[in-house]
Structure 1
Amino acid sequence: MKRRQFLQLMAATGMTAHMPLWTPKAWAAAAPEKFLVVVNASGGWDPTSICDPKGLNGLYADRSTRYDGSTNSVALDNGKKFGQIQWSAIPEYTTDTDALTRIEGQFDQFFTTYGNRLTVINGIDTGTNNHDTGNRVIWSGKDEIGYPSLAAYFAAATSPTLPMAFISNGGYDYTDSLVARARASSASFINEIADPNRYSGDRGFLYRSANRSVDQYETVLAAQQARIQRQLDEEALPLRRKQLSQLFGVRSEDSNLGGLTVALNDIQDNVDRDANWNTNRSNSLKSQAQVVVAAFKAGLAASANLNIGGFDTHGNHDASAYPQLGDLLEGVHFLQVALQYAGIADRTTIVIGSDFGRTPYYNSGNGKDHWPVTSMMVLHPGSTGGKVFGQSTDAFLAQKINRSTGLADTSGDVLTPAHVNQALRELLGVDGGTLSDNYPLRVNAFDIFA
């Protein structure tokens, strides 16, 4: 029997009446053993400008000017390698030498610092150049509507009862009702939830007069709990009741949100955003990372989406893409430093990807348009030696590769997001059981992380 049929049967037979009602600590659960962070480069990044560089020797290198055809506008630098990983040099698109030095430092520091734990997956054929479809297929493995995102799937498989099991800051975050999706992008948002009666400067406490002669907070709490109980009583579907209970648990003063604010303040006080690596760079991504790591440390969440935009570079690609790619890497570095400070870096897998790739040539506006071939990067515990699995052609086309070695093989298969998601499920230990049966990927396995 399918999951949806089972839920319909439960509702029809009245079994939903036996679901337990909400209590503030109803969803307390043990802290997860492993964590997952998905970092989405929204808009469609260009792998040839970062982890699958082609240099000036691609299919279009014989054109007469810099931008009208070459796969990239900068030659390969053989010094930019770690293990099998090659990363792009930075083109001199500007006279701002400080900016060029900053971006080159971001690239070089990231790959040399994390190369030994990094797996780069190149030559992935998404089969689309549509943003919505690309986002969905990259992060779920399927282009059809209805499959949960990798992060939601992981949270549902490992820690579905945590109050903030899956935190999303954007990107593809469909849950198919497996877990509640929590939005928590900033410290101020967390503080507002954790302390509704917080002190607010000259006004004093929000629900209390300045001289404390009138205190309405207990009245407010009683009204809130009565409203919560009415909502639960009126909800017939068991999954909806469960999700509402999770949400109300998050909002409860008796939940662990107090611990979250303590963890968040600790990270903010001791992990300096501007010291890792540049002042005023990638601040949104770093803010998202602070909240997520604090939620992990407090035992409230198992997975999260981080999201950074600016990669849909139809015009002035070099001037736009390289600074944004550098800031993406800086944000991931800050996330890793925060995870290390929290003592959970060795239990956390970070997956970096985007909707699709960009054309292996420049358009008339010096930009690059949508292209179905892309790459993903996975930073995970354990040494990889700087591994690359899969490869694209010199013209940045997908090709058949050997499922064991990842090298070009005419008798092999084309690597797709379904293969990558299947390998990630296996790496994370969530490839079996009911969830896998309900959301099968049905592909031959590639030994990406073997």
Structure 2
Amino acid sequence: MKKNHETSAGRRTFLKAAAGFMGATLFGGLPFRAFAQTAALKPADRCFVFVYFNGGWDQLLALDPRDPAIFTPERVAETRILPGYDLINDSRFIERPFVPKTRPGAARSNITFGPAMSERLANHYDLMTVVRGVNMTTLAHEEGMRYFITGKRPIGAAARGSSTATEIVGQMVPTQPIPSIAYNVESYNEGYPGSANALKVSKLNDLLLTLSASTTVLDSELEKQLVDFRGQPITCEQAVYGAGGVGETYATSRGQMQQVLSGKLNEKFTFEKNTAVLGKYGLSPQGYTKNGDFDNPAGRAALVATALKEGISQCVSINLVGGLDTHFGSQLTHASNLRSGFEALGMLVDDLRASPHPSGGNFMDHTTILVYSEFARTPYINSTNGRDHHQANSCLLMGAGLKHNKVFGYTGDIAMAPALVDLKTGMADPNNGTNILPEHIIATVLASAGLDYSVTRVDPLKALLA
């Protein structure tokens, strides 16, 4: 096929976006004409954020700490637990768990945090529930990650079911132009139309590239025909495309992308021009990378807030921080990486809590946040001064539809094993109790918004529902 050297602003972007969103009606299931007639973006009445800490976090340092005066090195053979807070050896980290200061007008915190927790985030304890003792039933990174994303135990390493964000968008059919964004996180769709698909990007510049016009020259006659296709086949070749629905889908995608581009949504994410965002998230106009991508935890948190507050998305799934798979001599490295993620998350909650929502209250009144990792680290320290993979996990739930200032479930005082609990109360029940599993967490998130959670095949943790 011969090369076509005609230039056409935005065509490459249209093709790229069409391929990314290809499905039925693309933007939240809203027909294009209705979307085109929408004069202003409107934030979703209910928003969701899924925050992934990549690598398997040390829960002793954050959500499930232990008192080092009780779990001493002398007792480690008995308890199989060594907090090791003194091994961090950095003045930024205290050597004991802490309870955050009481917020004005709120009850005292019922949650104790480990020394790597950000004080900024801990100060929002009155919006939190910590779930401890979640049994991941796996020590493999991919399986644990996919288990928490879908709430279904993978088959081997293969994910089953849809991502929770896909379930939400598929059930709620929001009107936001990009209902779901998955930032460096896997996303799955089983059974929903293409309108429920997430826009998958690996960094902020990918999102800007998708939402920005392009002047790149088309280098394929086939691409030109797909872009210019109008639903009336002219040649036999075009008739083949039309018969399979490809041309029609591209035509729909092109029109919808024209509307997105005309709205200049990319400008919402060019933070170097937004002094308010730079100030809230401690970002410099040049960004923290050579290409100005703001590809750091604070920049990613700013992306989440922008997508929700500007009415661009209903759900954002984001890999907020990594570097946690630390098996070797790494107490300070792990603690520092955890702290950077929690600090950025604290900035996000600060922002959402301080921002009025058009439906009343603030954005945290309308936002549910799930914070998770694929598993935890062993409570004892290995021979190389690091921690290995551990099944008993913790997670953090925040915001709308949930009870707050609460701890549910626990791990045992020997090797931090996942405890059997009464799922109605979260209290110990060694004879008739049940392990807390990721599907219980996902069912709870769905139920918190009144959505159908039957896909999880378990009941939600009703004690956590507001």
After TM superposition, is the score higher than 0.5? Answer: yes
What amino acid is the match of 1:182?
L
Name the counterpart of 1:89: 115
**Residues 297, 277 of structure 1: CA spacing in aligned structure 2 closer, same or farther, 3 A cutoff?**
closer
Name the counterpart of 1:182: 199
Deviation at 1:386, TM superposition (A): 1.8
Distance 1:32 1:274 in 2: 25
Q: Secondary structure at the match of 2:170?
A: helix
Q: Does 1:234 align with 2:248?
A: no
> Which residue of 423, 442, 448 maps to 1:403?
423
Name the counterpart of 1:164: 178
> Which residue of 329, 343, 352 maps to 1:330?
343
**Residues 429, 242 of structure 1: CA spacing in aligned structure 2 closer, same or farther, 3 A cutoff?**
farther
Name the counterpart of 1:196: 213
What amino acid is the match of 2:63?
C
**Residues 346, 185 of structure 1: CA spacing in aligned structure 2 closer, same or farther, 3 A cutoff?**
farther
Contact residue 356 and residue 370 of structure 1 kept, 8 A = yes
Name the counterpart of 2:269: 264
**Residues 49, 158 of structure 1: CA spacing in aligned structure 2 closer, same or farther, 3 A cutoff?**
same
What amino acid is the match of 2:308?
F
What amino acid is the match of 1:181?
A
Instruction: State the TM-score, normalized to the length of structure 1.
Output: 0.73
**Residues 80, 287 of structure 1: CA spacing in aligned structure 2 closer, same or farther, 3 A cutoff?**
closer
Identity value in percent:
22
Distance 1:64 1:175 in 2: 45
**Residues 62, 163 of structure 1: CA spacing in aligned structure 2 closer, same or farther, 3 A cutoff?**
same
Q: Secondary structure at the match of 1:325?
A: helix
Contact residue 213 and residue 261 of structure 2 kept, 8 A = no
Name the counterpart of 1:203: none
Q: How many residues align?
A: 390
Deviation at 1:120, TM superposition (A): 0.7
Contact residue 273 and residue 334 of structure 1 kept, 8 A = no
Q: Does 1:118 align with 2:124?
A: no
Name the counterpart of 1:310: 323
Distance 1:188 1:148 in 2: 26
Name the counterpart of 2:105: none
**Residues 247, 301 of structure 1: CA spacing in aligned structure 2 closer, same or farther, 3 A cutoff?**
farther
What amino acid is the match of 1:167?
I
What are the superposed Cα offsets for residues 264-303 of structure 1, whole Å, 9 maximum, x if unpaired?
A: 3589624344654698699523333333333333433210
Deviation at 1:121, TM superposition (A): 0.7
Q: Secondary structure at the match of 2:52?
A: strand
Contact residue 40 and residue 352 of structure 1 kept, 8 A = yes
Contact residue 35 and residue 296 of structure 1 kept, 8 A = yes
Deviation at 1:108, TM superposition (A): 2.0
Q: Secondary structure at the match of 1:253?
A: helix
Contact residue 191 and residue 261 of structure 1 kept, 8 A = yes
What amino acid is the match of 1:391?
Y
Q: Secondary structure at the match of 2:463?
A: coil
Deviation at 1:132, TM superposition (A): 1.4
After superposition, residues 388-399 of structure 1 pair within 5 angstroms as 388-394=407-413, 395-399=415-419
Distance 2:60 2:332 in 1: 15
Distance 1:88 1:274 in 2: 28
Name the counterpart of 1:442: 458
Distance 1:296 1:325 in 2: 24
What amino acid is the match of 2:373?
S
Q: Does 1:300 align with 2:312?
A: yes
What are the superposed Cα offsets for residues 400-443 of structure 1, whole Å, 9 maximum, x if unpaired?
A: 1122321212232221111111111111221x2xxx45x24234
Q: Give unmatched runs, 5+ long, in structure 1.
A: 1-18, 91-105, 198-205, 209-215
What amino acid is the match of 1:354?
S
RMSD: 4.0
Deviation at 1:177, TM superposition (A): 5.8
Distance 2:346 2:249 in 1: 33
**Residues 285, 181 of structure 1: CA spacing in aligned structure 2 closer, same or farther, 3 A cutoff?**
same
Distance 2:129 2:271 in 1: 31
**Residues 412, 54 of structure 1: CA spacing in aligned structure 2 closer, same or farther, 3 A cutoff?**
same
Q: Secondary structure at the match of 1:400?
A: coil
Q: Does 1:360 align with 2:379?
A: yes
> Which residue of 47, 53, 75 maps to 1:41?
53
Distance 1:232 1:132 in 2: 42
Deviation at 1:49, TM superposition (A): 1.2
Deviation at 1:393, TM superposition (A): 0.9
Distance 2:333 2:317 in 1: 23
Q: Give unmatched runs, 5+ long, in structure 2.
A: 1-23, 86-94, 102-107, 358-362
**Residues 366, 45 of structure 1: CA spacing in aligned structure 2 closer, same or farther, 3 A cutoff?**
same
**Residues 177, 77 of structure 1: CA spacing in aligned structure 2 closer, same or farther, 3 A cutoff?**
same
Q: Secondary structure at the match of 1:86?
A: coil
Moved more, 335-344 or 46-55: 335-344
Name the counterpart of 1:427: 448
Q: Secondary structure at the match of 2:130?
A: strand
What are the superposed Cα offsets for residues 378-397 of structure 1, whole Å, 9 maximum, x if unpaired?
A: 12047855211111112311
Q: Does 1:255 align with 2:269?
A: no
What amino acid is the match of 1:311?
L
Distance 2:385 2:141 in 1: 21
**Residues 241, 423 of structure 1: CA spacing in aligned structure 2 closer, same or farther, 3 A cutoff?**
farther
Instruction: State the TM-score, normalized to the length of structure 2.
Output: 0.71
Distance 2:402 2:197 in 1: 34
